[in-house]
Amino acid sequence: MGETVAAVVLLAALAVLAAGAAAFDASLAAGRVAIGDPLREAARLLVTQRRRTLLPDAPLRRIGVSGLPLVAVLAAAVLPMGEHAVADLPVGVVWFNGMEVGVWGALWLIGWSVNSVYPLVGGYRFLAQGLAYELPHMFALISAALGAGSLRVADVVAAQRGLWFAVWMPVAFAVYLISALAMAFWGPMNQAVGPDVAGGVPAELSGPDRLVFQAGRYTLLTVASAAAVPLFLGGGAGPALPPWSWTLVKTVAVLALLVWAGHRLPTIRMDRFMAATWLVLIPAVLLQILVVGIVVL
């Protein structure tokens, strides 16, 4: 019973936050307050007829399109909203990681299944990006888990009672934020959906399919931001307000930062990003793990 309520609350919170991110994104893009634009766009897409490409692989497309929001929501299940998560797994950090790599599958499936060049290019680009961001991302998650001595997200939160991990693991936190952008193919890591390939992966999606894809992308960005809160920003800890509201405030802050950064930073080419992650981020975050390991010992 309690879990069902928590799941409904989680879904509602994700929907509101993702819609808020879309509204903020639209406002930044338009240079004016454009809160209604995403809703109008959603309504338009709902009534738009599907455009069909020649010989698409429809089952794979359906799996890919529905998989994107699905993995985002499943990844969010281990994140505590206030005090409790929907599923407080003993290895929640690994679960989060496991669900979030599902994005690789979703994007490649969409890119492949519509039988069109640009989406395919986008799909392959995301796999290359995945190879670039995944290792630093995993090491950033491991830093937080190592600092807490546990893979349970609630324990990671509890370990930050004295000092937030973001404060004494700044490298891991920065790497996490970069990988969060890459995970949601957002801002500087948007080559998979870049304008240079006519929109990339979702280029041939139309109507409800495109709506689900866009909603999935904003949800993914929301979940990536929300995960930074229990992992690095002390979870629901804070003065005066109850834990759920602190979780919400911090999530909104990270989400707003990521959306804003998406409009301020230029796109990084995949091969350059690969060099940067493997030659700079991985050694940096390994040193961070060493420091954390010594402190914990």
Partner 1 sequence: MTAQVVAFWTLAAVAVASGVAVFVTGSMARATFALLASLLAAGLTFLLIDLQYLSFLIIVMMVMEMLIMAVYMVMYMMNPAGLMPMTMVHNRRGAVLIASAVFVLLAVGVLLTPWPARRGAPPPDPTRQLGLSVMGPRMLVMIVIGVAILATMVAAIVLATDRGRYDRSGDEHDRWGRAT
Q: Give the up-direction half-sphere exposure of residue 48: CA atoms within 13 A in the CB hemisphere.
A: 16
How many Å apart are CA 158 and CA 147, to the nearest integer?
11
Contacting partner 1 within 67-126 (CB under 8 A): 89-91, 94-95, 97-98, 101-102, 104-105, 108-109, 112-113, 115, 124
Count the site residues for partner 1 by CB under 8 A: 36
Q: Is 278 in the site for partner 1 (CB under 8 A)?
A: yes
Nearer to partner 1, 220 or 259 (CB): 220
Q: What angle do CA 264, 270, 275 make, to 5 degrees?
A: 100
DSSP 245-261: HHHHHHHHHHHHHHHHH
Contacting partner 1 within 211-250 (CB under 8 A): none
The answer to whether the beta carbons of residues 136 and 129 sit under 8 Å apart is no
CA 20 to chain centre: 15
> Measured from the CB of residue 32, what is the shortest distance to partner 1 in angstroms?
39
How many Å apart are CA 232 and CA 234, to the nearest integer?
6
Nearer to partner 1, 105 or 243 (CB): 105
Contacting partner 1 within 10-29 (CB under 8 A): none
> Measured from the CB of residue 104, what is the shortest distance to partner 1 in angstroms?
5
Q: Is 279 in the site for partner 1 (CB under 8 A)?
A: yes
Nearer to partner 1, 20 or 136 (CB): 136
Nearer to partner 1, 42 or 131 (CB): 131
How many Å apart are CA 80 and CA 78, to the nearest integer?
6
> Measured from the CB of residue 169, what is the shortest distance to partner 1 in angstroms?
19
Binding residue for partner 1, selected from 41, 57, 83, 155, defined by CB under 8 A: 57
Helix, strand or coil, per DSSP, at residue 84: strand
DSSP 32-55: S--TTHHHHHHHHHHHSPPP--SS
How many Å apart are CA 4 and CA 12, to the nearest integer?
12
Binding residues for partner 1, rule: CB under 8 A, are 55, 57, 59-60, 63, 89-91, 94-95, 97-98, 101-102, 104-105, 108-109, 112-113, 115, 124, 127, 130-131, 134, 151, 269, 271, 274-275, 278-279, 282-283, 286
